[in-house]
Amino acid sequence: MHLNIAVLEGDGIGPEVVAQSIKCLRSVEETFGHSFTFKKGLIGASAIKKTGNPLPKETLDLCKKADATLFGALGLPEYDDNPKAKVWPEQGLLRLRKELGLFANIRPVKVFPSLVKQSPLPKASVQNTDLVIFRELSGGIYYGDKSISEDQSSATDTCTYTEAEISRITHLAFKSARSRKKKVTLVDKANVLETSRLWRRVVRSISESYPDVVLECLFIDNAAVQMILNPSQFDVILTDNMFGDILSDQGSVIAGSIGLLPSASVGLEHAMFEPIHGSYPDAKGKNIANPVASILSMAMLLQHFKMNEESDAVVAAVLKSFAKKIVTPDILGSSKYGTNYVGDFIADNIM
Amino acid sequence: MHLNIAVLEGDGIGPEVVAQSIKCLRSVEETFGHSFTFKKGLIGASAIKKTGNPLPKETLDLCKKADATLFGALGLPEYDDNPKAKVWPEQGLLRLRKELGLFANIRPVKVFPSLVKQSPLPKASVQNTDLVIFRELSGGIYYGDKSISEDQSSATDTCTYTEAEISRITHLAFKSARSRKKKVTLVDKANVLETSRLWRRVVRSISESYPDVVLECLFIDNAAVQMILNPSQFDVILTDNMFGDILSDQGSVIAGSIGLLPSASVGLEHAMFEPIHGSYPDAKGKNIANPVASILSMAMLLQHFKMNEESDAVVAAVLKSFAKKIVTPDILGSSKYGTNYVGDFIADNIM
Ligand SMILES: CC(C)[C@H](C(=O)O)[C@@H](O)C(=O)O
Ligand SMILES: CC(C)[C@H](C(=O)O)[C@@H](O)C(=O)O
């Protein structure tokens, strides 16, 4: 198979981790006889610095033409700490998700048996965790009207959801549950929010077409507790953009390191694959960033194109790195292996 | 001292836990020579069932006239599961907070040494936890305009904050930090939300008047991770209504049970004291609900009226119950002590 892959390294550790995924894709090419081409585009702080724009038109065009996009990470504290900035890195990612129509962000949280003891949570509750979060990615308060009063003394964000937006991701979530443990948990705040009440109504009505799947509803405050106390109760979690952002980062605690969790962002025409971690500017260039989240995101890319054998081979190589303790310091504090070495090991073991 | 206390038991386990706090207040009266009068008001599902209104006018008047309000818990699943309901229990609480001008919800999260091993989190990270969350309580997306389109296919919630709303709670938070570990952590999502950027600007500018207090900013997704991985890094957490709801429930995981965490909701004229737990309808009438969150909320009430010795005596009695393992089953699964027995023990030990 031939794939054109757009590569957006972004900021901080983005370039370092994406480099490992590309190494692994080269190895997949060789082992399985595929051909991948990579074209890089600017995004985030690096794009602002070079072009003034966190998502230059060339980058958007590149992603639109590509078969899929591999994304690193973005963000730099100098922008966070400047509340008067007119442009900041995250705008690039948010606009890209919207322009590509990536409405579902799929975030699996699985505890690898060899890493169970890495989790700070009790073994009993984490070892059976195998859940996937379906986070709505192109609507909600992320994209609603925003405003600030002229005298700068009052600000507003708007959260809007339509039945159509809720419906398309709900079907994805229920279809996924069908091939899994047959349970969907809708997370919302229906005792406060009108949008949550719309979610409940739409999801409940769609659930009737999936009689083999159980639907459960949880308030976000309770869900944030349950994710820690008893994550193995979940199968598919379905939620909006903001709640999904919070819950899925929390999921990283279960797995033992945020450097392990991949995600796929999909729409009708495009797909992008991105680790859930951020750009960790403090770690940049130190060769300590964990490349596994990026590599597993790349494995989701392969799966997206039905290269299941290839995807399994990548995951197997990652598991081998865990078994041999060829891991970065976030996993074993005392580890002497760097980003590059771990990437090489995994690439060499794709077979 | 004489205090008129409005008592809103609410739903589920509300009446059972509040009854224990009243027992303890009777004991405080006797031991310290005060006089408290209690007047009950309806709220939540029980109020809807009797009057059709989750916050009857009499209840609101009662709370306005009282020196303080002691609140139990509210909510019933039959309302959550009916997205077309026009009235639901939580509306009563939300309206009450607004009408009483309770703009700051103060939620301390402390790990009691005798309960450290109750926490599912690693001892090292929890044992030094002593943080307090200042959650803005009368603004944000909880109270902004809400609407649903005529054909019911689209819904909107609005989140608005003004400088004045942010400013008053920020001063409370910084004052509290001054008498504590001198650090305030603002939790927001300034890389996405306009309201968060206003929070950052206002809080940063106010922080200049508190040069002895360090200000730190964290995104909510990261904060949700840090609350679990390393809660002892926090001193005072300052955040908006929605993020505060999620973070403080998460805090209960640190403490080992949501049945332990109290809160005070304060404004310029009124104050209300409420456990952070919900109404747990499944536990209703079983004599298993933990009364400690309600009793510690009542201790915050005493402190609010500068009855520090009295408040300390209540906390000491609670600690004695922990030391003697006179606790409900949420703390020790095998515990044979019920809500009433624990309440009696604590009341008897206020001295
Ligand atoms: C960088 C930020 C805008 C982004 C988000 O909130 O969606 C990130 O936290 C994520 O989860 O991908
Ligand atoms: C009952 C509900 C409306 C309430 C809230 O979200 O504020 C509760 O969760 C709380 O934290 O006091």
CA–CA min distance B252, chain A (Å): 8
b/e per residue A295-317 (b: at least 16 CB within 10 A): bbbbbbbbbbeebeebbebbbeb
Q: What is the pTM of this model?
A: 0.96
Separation between Cα atoms, residue A100 and residue B188, nearest integer Å? 27
Give the distance, in angstroms, between the CA of residue B272 and the centroid of all CA atoms in the same chain: 9
Two tokens at B316? 């000491």
* pLDDT higher than threshold 90 for residue B84: no
Helix axes A220-229, B241-255, angle to 10 degrees: 30
The CA–CA distances, whole Å, from A22 to A185, A206, A259, B38 equal 35, 39, 17, 69
Query: How confident is residue A322, by pLDDT bands cut at 50, 70 and 90?
Result: very high
Q: Which positions in chain A touch B249 (Cβ < 8 Å)?
A: 221-222, 224-225
The CA–CA distances, whole Å, from A190 to B13, B60, B66, B245 equal 21, 24, 31, 14
pLDDT, one tens digit per residue, over A13-48 is: 999 999 999 999 999 999 999 999 999 999 999 999
For chain A, how many residues are written?
351
Separation between Cα atoms, residue B199 and residue B221, nearest integer Å? 17
pLDDT value of position A123: 85
- Of A23, A79, A110, A142, the catalytic one is A142
pLDDT (mean) for A325-345: 92
Separation between Cα atoms, residue A275 and residue A293, nearest integer Å? 5
The closest residue, in CA terms, to atom 1 on ligand 1 is: A90
* pLDDT higher than threshold 70 for residue A279: yes
Ranges A333-347, B23-37, B241-255, most confident? B23-37
Ordered by where they begin, the domains of chain A are 1-100+270-351 (3.40.718.10), 103-266 (3.40.718.10)
Q: Which of A93-97, A130-134, B108-112, B329-333 has the lowest mean pLDDT?
A: B329-333
A182 CB contacts (<8 Å, ≥6 apart)? A212, A213, A214, A235
pLDDT value of position A246: 97
Separation between Cα atoms, residue A135 and residue B224, nearest integer Å? 17
Q: Is A151 a catalytic residue?
A: no
* Single-letter residue type at B53: N
Q: Is the dihedral of CA B253, B258, B260, B264 positive or negative?
A: positive
* pLDDT higher than threshold 70 for residue A83: no
The CA–CA distances, whole Å, from B159 to A143, A145, A189, A299, B140 equal 13, 10, 14, 38, 5
Two tokens at B102? 């309770």
What count of other Cβ atoms lies within 10 Å of the Cβ of residue B156? 21
Helix axes B44-51, B89-99, angle to 10 degrees: 100
pLDDT value of position B119: 85
Angle at A15 (CA atoms; ends A14, A18), nearest 5 degrees? 85
> Among residues of chain B, what percentage have pLDDT more than 90?
88
Two tokens at B164? 């004045």
Q: Which ligand is nearest to the CA of B141?
A: 2
The closest residue, in CA terms, to atom 6 on ligand 1 is: A245
Mean pLDDT of chain A: 95
Separation between Cα atoms, residue A225 and residue A231, nearest integer Å? 9
Q: Do A156 and B147 touch (CB under 8 A)?
A: no
Find the B245 Cα to ligand 2 centroid distance in Å: 6
pLDDT, one tens digit per residue, over B266-310 is: 999 999 999 999 999 999 999 999 999 999 999 999 999 999 999
pLDDT value of position A297: 98
pLDDT (mean) for B313-324: 97
pLDDT, one tens digit per residue, over A86-145 is: 899 999 999 999 999 999 999 999 988 888 888 888 888 788 899 999 999 999 999 999
Nearest to B162 among A141, A154, A163 (CB): A154
Angle at A344 (CA atoms; ends A273, A46), nearest 5 degrees? 45
Q: How deeply is B160 buried, as exposed, middle or buried, from its count of CB atoms within 10 A (0-12, 13-18, 19+)?
A: buried
The CA–CA distances, whole Å, from A340 to A274, A299, A301 equal 19, 18, 21
pLDDT value of position B322: 95
The CA–CA distances, whole Å, from A134 to A17, A97, A100, A111, B349 equal 24, 15, 17, 18, 50
pLDDT value of position B170: 98
Q: Do B193 and A146 touch (CB under 8 A)?
A: yes
Cβ–ligand 2 contact at A221 (below 6 Å): yes
Separation between Cα atoms, residue A54 and residue A208, nearest integer Å? 43
Question: Given the structure tokens 């310290």, which residue do they identify?
Answer: B32
Q: Which of A132-141, B102-111, B332-341 has the lowest mean pLDDT?
A: B332-341
Contact B160, B144 (CB under 8 A): yes
Q: What is the DSSP letter of B326?
A: -
pLDDT value of position B114: 86
* pLDDT higher than threshold 90 for residue A152: yes
